[in-house]
Amino acid sequence: MERLHSWQVSPAEALDIQRRLAAQVSRSSQVTTPRFIAGVDISAANAQGIATGAVVVLEYPELRLAETKVAQARPSFPYVPGLLSFRESPLTLAACEKLTVTPNLILVDGQGIAHPRRLGLASHLGLLLNTPTIGCAKSLLCGQHEEPGAEPGSYAEVVDRGETIGVALRTRLGVKPVYVSIGHKVDLETAIYWVLECCRGYRLPEPTRLAHLAAGGNLKIEGDTSEIDYQGRLFE
């Protein structure tokens, strides 16, 4: 796990960090056929202000559940549009640190470079974990696109300020597209391929679909879910 910056930062400092780290994102694929594919997601904070971060690891090609870990804490960074990774990354990393299996590829319920400063949650996590990541979001953050075709596998490029930053990808007939973008150490063609490869009849690919269930407490998990200390060693 790379220590790229402090988590105790202001929104203005977070913007500067995003601009600096965006230049370090690799848009070239380093993905070979993975043995383990992970999905990560985080729940909204509950009435007590506690959120849950989850990581689910599946064994490819069967997509058999290999490991699930969660971490719970009260997010220390405020909700600021465009700075979601500073609110969610520490909790996601805390869950990932508990893993005994090392994923070869991570699908993230969030944006990669399809972000105003080209550093969404998937790209940020990819740099921090030094692992190939793909952004697979349920909604569009920036850019425009045409409507993709109705057939699964159809897609339309998402363009922002003249740059293709991702695609709106149809994963199932009759459902809204998902938004796929480069996270880190992948190219866009590879990202599209692996999202489709991980879809098994649902709108969302299995890694992020199961991570969403785990974060919401609707998937059997391993280990404890004790609250994480944001002043602890992981976040120094």
- The SS3 of residue 38 is strand
pLDDT band for position 221 (cuts 50, 70, 90): low
Residue 128 lies in a domain: yes
pLDDT band for position 28 (cuts 50, 70, 90): very high
Residue 236 lies in a domain: no
pLDDT at 1: 81
- Read off the tokens for 124: 């940020």
DSSP state of 233: G
| Mean pLDDT, range 76-102, rounded to an integer | 96
| CATH number, domain containing residue 59 | 3.30.2170.10
Residue 155 lies in a domain: no
In angstroms, the Cα distances linking 47 to 50, 51, 213 are 7, 10, 19
The model's pLDDT over 99-142, given as tens digits with 9 standing for 90+, comes to 999 999 999 999 999 999 999 999 999 999 999 999 999 999 99
Looking at the predicted structure, is the pLDDT value of residue 94 above 90?
yes
Residue 171 lies in a domain: no
State how far the Cα of 198 lies from the Cα of 205, in Å rounded to an integer.
5
Q: Which long-range contacts (CB under 8 A, 24 or more apart) does 168-171 make?
A: 168/140, 169/195, 169/196, 171/195, 171/196, 171/199, 171/202, 171/203, 171/204, 171/205
pLDDT at 227: 37
pLDDT at 79: 92
Residue 192 lies in a domain: yes
Looking at the predicted structure, is the pLDDT value of residue 225 above 50?
no
pLDDT at 33: 94
| Mean pLDDT, range 71-78, rounded to an integer | 94
pLDDT at 233: 33
pLDDT band for position 229 (cuts 50, 70, 90): very low
pLDDT at 97: 96
| Mean pLDDT, range 186-197, rounded to an integer | 98
pLDDT at 235: 33
Domain count, the chain: 1
pLDDT at 47: 85
Residue 77 lies in a domain: yes
Residue 169 lies in a domain: no
pLDDT at 163: 98
Q: What is the mean pLDDT of the chain?
A: 92
Domain carrying residue 94 = 11-142+180-230
Residue 137 lies in a domain: yes
Pair 125, 87: CB distance under 8 Å? no
pLDDT band for position 159 (cuts 50, 70, 90): very high
| Mean pLDDT, range 22-30, rounded to an integer | 98
